[in-house]
Amino acid sequence: MTAIVVEFFTEILQQHESPDELVRVVYLFINRLGPDYEPDLELGLGETLLIKAIAECYGRTPAKIKKDYQEIGDLGLVAQKSRSGQSTMFKPTALDIDTVFENLTKIAKSTGKDSQSKKIGIINKMLTSCDIKSSEAKFLIRSLEGKLRIGLAEKTVLVSLAQAFLNYENKSQKRISPESLSKAEDVIREAFSVIPNYEVIIRNSFKYGILNLLEHCQLTPGIPLKPMLAKPTKSIGEVLDRFQGEEFTCEYKYDGERAQVHLLDSGEVRIYSRNSEDMSQRYPDLVSIVKDFIKTSDKSSAEKPKSMLLDCEAVAWDRETKKILPFQVLSTRKRKDVDEKDIKVHICLFAFDVLCYNGESLITKSLQERRQCLFDNFSPIEGKFQFATFKNSSDLNELQIFLDQSVKDACEGLMVKMLHGAESFYEPSKRSRNWLKLKKDYLAGVGDSLDLVVVGAYIGKGKRTGSYGGFLLAAYNDDTGEYETTCKIGTGFSDEDLVSLHAKLKPTEISAPKPFYIYDTTNSNAVPDVWLEPTAVFEVLTADLSLSPIYKAAHQEYGKGISLRFPRFLRLRDDKGVEDATTSSQVSEFYERQANVAK
């Protein structure tokens, strides 16, 4: 697959004098229209709208399209079958990259009263132009669904771009060395972790050369980077083994929502979630205080605000008791059209890192240096902006006492981080062993909760009549883009949870499982009462993991899948996209690390 993609990308570069075409092709390959942080560029249209569009375009009834879909299980193949059965008097104008990209963008940005009919009109125009003898209709519909299913992972696209640019720059046609290939791949990965924008990456590679890319892709306020993440750990002893006498630092692990705070040179403030969603309108109360906690030499001066980028946790805060409130309270805040004067759930921002300050990237400075920059340039505001509580140590007893205190202070546990040297650098988008999370509830168990995608539901009975009684969950396979079933869950839900989840997920019901759902088709226990679009992520706690003849997580590795034993619902993760869920390989890691499995 990589060789095919490299050849295609190289051909595009060689045939065009600008990188415009390659930018559009790459976004179409990964089923996006722009970077994650740009609003209104999502596809993923619902089944009902697409069935209606296919029916209208090809002169069939929605009922017949739906019947075909239930039999074939792929709306793209249904569209292709419908197209092949339709004859036209005149040959329509052929589709090209620019036309498809432009029309998909119009569909994504279409809102308002007549938006559905506008979308159907654009889709029909493209479906009519699809080549009757090719697979264009199939892949057009799959693009609109949000899943091409061509076996192409995003990490393959990055590697392919690196190799394609080396090929393009190799005017002498000499064989490119493995060392150059490896270096180019490392460069593009590092650049993308700091600037997750394919257009910027491609244009700078085209202009300056792939090996010079890092000089022109610096951390930039206004462009959110993928955050550094921690590895779970099951015991304090495991933490001490990892750091082996090195001085480390422990910070409270707050029960809130990751928030990246950006101050741009223009003075504009933006706040981004862990999956790069712009949350500025959701948290106007945070936006309004940012300039208040930046230290200035003269408070009365009209000094231009400094640019900066902070990594923080936004936590619900009780202003009367001056205490942290649970995440469930934070989740009751409105997500759109928030007016600051109507806010009832107040937020305190706990800052634990500064990644950029006054135009200088700090990610390759030690955590000790970054923390000092935080203290030197920002001032706490009680109940609004505070520094994460921390303790530097290398002592087992101190660590246990600090962990107990964090739980008393309404936190989940501790984040344990390397403090000095290169191992303490900030590593965007990586789940690193230089950061470990130590959660009180998970010690001696799996070591962490799992974030799983909801792909199906079971109709409630008894007191749960009228809502869903349970759910089918899946891990995300980031190599194949598939969702592999992991467990059925029915415990941990309050009555209020079930009512709100039914209201949220009912509109996402679909008549057949998605072709990229991997489940046991031979066992009725593995099939839910209703299938759902992959839109929601549940945080789940489990006693342990075991091999299962029914469930499919990491099934290619063991011949059987891995399942959760006694799973319990903790909360809905609105701050996570489905591709940020626990991956199949992470489920495998959790399984392997269990005492009864590890060798």
Q: Domains of the chain: which residue ranges?
A: 2-30+152-216, 47-145, 229-442, 450-593
Main-chain phi, psi angles of 476, to 5 degrees? -95, 125
CA separation for the pair 103, 38 (Å, rounded): 17
Cβ atoms 317, 383 nearer than 8 A? yes
Query: Domain 47-145: which topology?
Result: DNA ligase i, domain 1 (1.10.3260)
Sign of CA dihedral 25, 30, 32, 38: negative
Q: Averaged over 474-494, what is the pLDDT?
A: 94
- Sequence-distant (6+) residues with CB within 8 A of 172 are none
**pLDDT given at position 260:** 97
Q: Averaged over 80-101, what is the pLDDT?
A: 83
Q: Averaged over 307-322, what is the pLDDT?
A: 96
Q: What would the pLDDT profile of 485-540 be if each residue is shown by its tens digit?
A: 999 999 999 999 999 999 999 999 998 999 899 999 888 878 999 999 999 999 99
- Which of the residues are catalytic? 253
Q: Averaged over 243-247, what is the pLDDT?
A: 82
574-577 contact pairs (CB < 8 A, 24+): 574/331, 574/335, 575/257, 575/258, 575/273, 575/274, 575/275, 575/277, 576/274, 576/275, 576/451, 576/537, 577/275, 577/537
- Please tell me what DSSP assigns to residue 459: E
Q: Averaged over 290-295, what is the pLDDT?
A: 91
Query: Domain 229-442: which topology?
Result: D-amino Acid Aminotransferase; Chain A, domain 1 (3.30.470)
**pLDDT given at position 297:** 61
**pLDDT given at position 305:** 58
3-state helix, strand, coil in the chain (%, to 5): 40, 20, 40
**pLDDT given at position 208:** 97
Give 298's pLDDT tier (boundaries 50, 70, 90).
low
- Please tell me what DSSP assigns to residue 436: E
Main-chain phi, psi angles of 309, to 5 degrees? -145, 115
**Hey, what amino acid is at 438?**
L
Which is more confident, 387 or 245?
387
DSSP result, 157-210: HHHHHHHHHHHHH-TT-PPPPHHHHHHHHHHHHHHHHHS--HHHHHHHHHHH-G
**Largest Cα–Cα distance in the chain?**
82
- In this model, does residue 595 exceed pLDDT 60? no
* Strand pairing report for 517-518 and 482-489: parallel
- In this model, does residue 88 exceed pLDDT 70? no
Cα torsion 253, 259, 260, 266 to 10°: value is -140
CA separation for the pair 80, 320 (Å, rounded): 62
CA angle, 284 then 289 then 290, to 5°:
100
Give 556's pLDDT tier (boundaries 50, 70, 90).
confident
Sign of CA dihedral 196, 150, 580, 155: negative
Buried b / exposed e over 191-224, threshold 16 CB at 10 Å, is bbbbbbbbbbbbbbbbeebbbebbebbebbbebb
CA separation for the pair 508, 49 (Å, rounded): 12
- In this model, does residue 87 exceed pLDDT 90? no
Give 93's pLDDT tier (boundaries 50, 70, 90).
confident
**pLDDT given at position 152:** 82
Main-chain phi, psi angles of 143, to 5 degrees? -60, -45
Q: Averaged over 458-483, what is the pLDDT?
A: 93
> For the whole prediction, is pTM greater than 0.85?
no
CA separation for the pair 25, 11 (Å, rounded): 12
CA separation for the pair 71, 73 (Å, rounded): 6
How buried is 486 (Cβ within 10 angstroms: 0-12 exposed, 13-18 middle, 19+ buried)? buried
**Hey, what amino acid is at 358?**
N
Structure tokens at 248: 């480390």
DSSP result, 138-150: HHHHHHHHT---S
**pLDDT given at position 302:** 47
Q: In what order do the strands lie in the sheet with 390-393?
A: 229-232, 431-439, 413-418, 248-253, 390-393
Q: What would the pLDDT profile of 137-156 be if each residue is shown by its tens digit?
A: 999 999 999 888 787 888 89
Q: What would the pLDDT profile of 326-373 be if each residue is shown by its tens digit?
A: 998 998 888 888 988 889 999 999 999 999 999 999 999 999 999 999
CA separation for the pair 43, 290 (Å, rounded): 33
Instruction: With H, G, I as helix, E, B as strand and everything else as coil, classify residue 434.
Output: strand
Structure tokens at 243: 């750091």
| Entry field: residues in the chain | 599
Of all residues in the chain, the percent with pLDDT exceeding 70 is: 95
**pLDDT given at position 599:** 44
Q: Averaged over 7-29, what is the pLDDT?
A: 96
Stretch among 55-59, 540-544, 584-588 having the lowest mean pLDDT: 540-544
- In this model, does residue 300 exceed pLDDT 80? no
**pLDDT given at position 441:** 65
**pLDDT given at position 236:** 82
Q: Averaged over 88-111, what is the pLDDT?
A: 88
CATH of 450-593, one of 2.40.50.140, 1.10.3720.10, 3.30.1370.10, 3.40.50.11540: 2.40.50.140
- In this model, does residue 379 exceed pLDDT 80? yes
3-state secondary structure 544-586: EEEEECCCCECHHHHCCEEEEECCEEEEECCCCCHHHCCEHHH
Q: How far apart are the first and last CA of the chain?
A: 35
**pLDDT given at position 405:** 94
The mean of the pLDDT values for the chain is: 91
Which candidate, 122, 124, 31, 29, places its Cα nearest to that of 83? 124
Which candidate, 431, 406, 427, 399, places its Cα nearest to that of 247? 399
CA separation for the pair 105, 114 (Å, rounded): 17
Structure tokens at 277: 């969603």
